[in-house]
Amino acid sequence: MTGTDADVNVLNGGDGDDILAGLGGGDTLIGGLGSDTADYTASTAGVIISLEAGTVAGGHAVGDTLTSIENLTGSAFDDTLTGTDAGANVLNGGDGNDVLIGLGGADTLIGGAGTDTANYIASTAGVIVNLDTGTGSGGHAEGDTLTGIENLIGSAFDDTLTGTDTDANILTGGAGNDVLAGLGGADTLDGGGGGSDTADYTASTAGVIISLETGTAAG
């Protein structure tokens, strides 16, 4: 169901798995039963949406009210999409450099084009996330599936974050005693402000030369 750019629309999906696109205006999107998606692909600017908090901002999301929506599709710009603590959400960033926060539940995080980040800072326990395999476990990452994600932000607990063999990943551990494995690519490993953090090169296909003093690496 698609609204108009000029009007304030009320789109009610009813039963079934619905896709609701309000376009411009302060629209009301009601998913009803099923697994429903609010689609902001056509937005002329980035959107910031939290299904958990029920808040919206930016682009076509300004003034919108979302009820019984489980999934979000972002714009072609830089979006921040947040799911819910209780449900299994599908967050699709689309184009742009997006930040995806699934919260609780076995979420599907799809970065799309651009350089995208999965953020687990709100997790209530440490997370183990591997971008190379696209899997997550522990805390808010439990059961998550990640596709097209380049960067990770961990929790306030002990995390294990793994990048990919092909991309330049940014892995940020945050608080806690974290293990960061960038794998291939010119990665940025940030242990965070607290804890005793480890850069893990166990999977390297050749010897490495690393100086923690200068923050440089080779090999």
Domain boundaries, given as residue ranges, for the chain: 32-204
pLDDT beyond 90 at 101: yes
Give CA–CA dist 180/152, Å, rounded: 10
Position 133 scores a pLDDT of 98
* Residue-wise DSSP of 73-90: E--SS--EEE--SSS--E
- Please report which confidence band the pLDDT of residue 165 belongs to, taking 50, 70 and 90 as the band edges: very high
- Please report which confidence band the pLDDT of residue 155 belongs to, taking 50, 70 and 90 as the band edges: very high
Rounded to two decimals, the pTM is 0.96
Position 219 scores a pLDDT of 83
- Please report which confidence band the pLDDT of residue 193 belongs to, taking 50, 70 and 90 as the band edges: confident
Joined tokens for residue 50? 């939290």
Under a CB-based contact definition with an 8 Å cutoff, are residues 78 and 47 in contact? no
